[in-house]
Amino acid sequence: MYEHIPAALTHGFRNDYSEGAHPRLLQALATASAEQNRGYGLDAHTERAIGLIRSACAQPDADVHLLVGGTQANLVALAAFLRPHQAAIAAVTGHIATHETGAIEATGHKVITVPASDGKLTPEAIAPVLAEHANEHLVQPRLVYVSQSTELGTVYSRAELAALSAFCRRHGLRLYVDGARLGAALAAAGNDLTLPELATLADAFYIGGTKNGALIGEALVVVNDALKPDLRYLIKQRGALLAKGMVLGTQFTGLFAEGRVEGSLFLELAAHAVAQAARLHDGLAAYGVRFLVDSPTNQLFPVLPLAAVEALETDYAFERWLPPDAHGNVAIRLVTSWATPPAAVDAFLADAAALLAPGAASPIRTAAAPLQER
């Protein structure tokens, strides 16, 4: 991944965590800050958040632990769910295999990667790993790691995740879902997998707040009873038990105030990000721009001429995902967020239009209404 950060820019499409937090969550934090709360997640705000998350997942008996970030959630979960000789299977693009600085390996567990051109694992891709790791001279695969949405912005359908879940259960594998961008997946056009359905298919997963309007925070949800014991001990041992747990509890209470996904601030913020990405996609596609993958979420990977990329980098921040190919084209990553102004999308498309089709009218949709502070 190649990054370019201009000294001054009109707007950034580098990621979905550059902004702070939604005003409603900040106001809730400001109000709660005047209170005295118990520490380490034993406060009333966290207790309420846990109840709301259980309700949204339709899992009244799930264990819910609020953690600070995604890498932290992943390393705590995998350290807890795997024995010393066991390993995780992930797509070659999986976050634990690429952008976590060996965090999982640092817990003593190998990450076995398999090819996945669209970022998604299938039973057919995993089966050869099990056949290869068939004796005690190799690590024992025990957990399958997937992301929803994936690192390439793609989304598992209900049928795809159900097939993966059934395969894992037949072969004694745990299924763990990284939900850093779960909100974007739930808001994606064509998505048919609900949060309660995901909770019945996975042994554990987390709901990402950091990339969906929270200041910080991920909610680790453990459904499989066998994985629940002593998790708070391990969270503390790994330095992940936040003393001021109310900071996390207050935010997740705001995100899931209704106790369901529908009508929640969590889904509203994700839907805004996805809608702005759809406008970017359609505007670029109108000029014949191709994409590395077909992503219905808030991450897009358009392939543009190097000259156009260099010109756009003058005013916009984004990542060069791949180096230039033999034809001088570059795949970049554009990411929208809960706070992306529709006007920023308009401006980017107008500038891209001038570069891709000089003199042509800009193929920009009418901007959506600005997101209200709700």
3-state SS, one letter per residue, for 23-64: HHHHHHHHHHCCCCCCCCCCCHHHHHHHHHHHHHHCCCCCEE
Q: What is the DSSP letter of 2?
A: E
Counting beta carbons within 10 angstroms of the beta carbon of residue 137, is it exposed (0 to 12), middle (13 to 18) or buried (19 or more)? exposed
DSSP collapsed to 3 states, 293-354: CCCCCCEECEEEEHHHHHHHCCCEEEEECCCCCCCCEEEEEEECCCCCCHHHHHHHHHHHHH
The whole-angstrom separation of Cα 304 and Cα 291 is: 9
Q: Provide the pLDDT for residue 96.
A: 92
Beta bridge partners of 141: 87
The whole-angstrom separation of Cα 239 and Cα 67 is: 10
Amino acid residing at 89: I
Q: Provide the pLDDT for residue 9.
A: 55
Q: Provide the pLDDT for residue 11.
A: 84
Q: Which two tokens stand for residue 335?
A: 């990411």
Q: Which two tokens stand for residue 259?
A: 């106790």
Beta strands in the chain (DSSP E): 2-4, 11-12, 63-67, 86-91, 111-114, 140-147, 174-178, 204-208, 218-222, 290-291, 299-300, 302-305, 316-320, 329-335
What is the domain partition of the chain in residue ranges? Answer: 2-16+267-356, 23-262
The whole-angstrom separation of Cα 201 and Cα 195 is: 10
Q: Provide the pLDDT for residue 360.
A: 45
Which residues, in sequence order, are CB contacts of 22 under 8 Å at separation 6+?
Answer: 213, 214, 254, 265, 269, 338, 339, 373
CATH 3.90.1150.10 is right for the domain spanning 2-16+267-356:
yes
Whose CA is closest to 249, among 121, 68, 127?
68
For each of the chain's 374 residues, which pLDDT tens digit applies?
Answer: 334 444 445 689 999 999 999 999 999 999 999 999 999 999 999 999 999 999 999 999 999 999 999 999 999 999 999 999 999 999 999 999 999 889 999 999 999 999 999 999 999 999 999 999 999 999 999 999 999 999 999 999 999 999 999 999 999 999 999 999 999 999 999 999 999 999 999 999 999 999 999 999 999 999 999 999 999 999 999 999 999 999 999 999 999 999 999 999 999 999 999 999 999 999 999 999 999 999 999 999 999 999 999 999 999 999 999 999 999 999 999 999 999 999 999 999 999 999 997 654 444 333 333 333 33
Q: Provide the pLDDT for residue 1.
A: 35
Q: What is the CA radius of gyration of the chain?
A: 21
Q: Dihedrals φ, ψ of 144, to 5°?
A: -110, 125
Amino acid residing at 366: T
The whole-angstrom separation of Cα 68 and Cα 286 is: 40
Please check whether residue 257 is in contact with residue 117, taking contact to mean a CB–CB distance below 8 angstroms: no
Determine the distance from the C-alpha atom of residue 175 to the mean position of all C-alpha atoms in its chain, rounded to a whole number: 16
Please check whether residue 212 is in contact with residue 181, taking contact to mean a CB–CB distance below 8 angstroms: yes
The domain made up of 23-262 has a fold known as: Aspartate Aminotransferase; domain 2 (3.40.640)
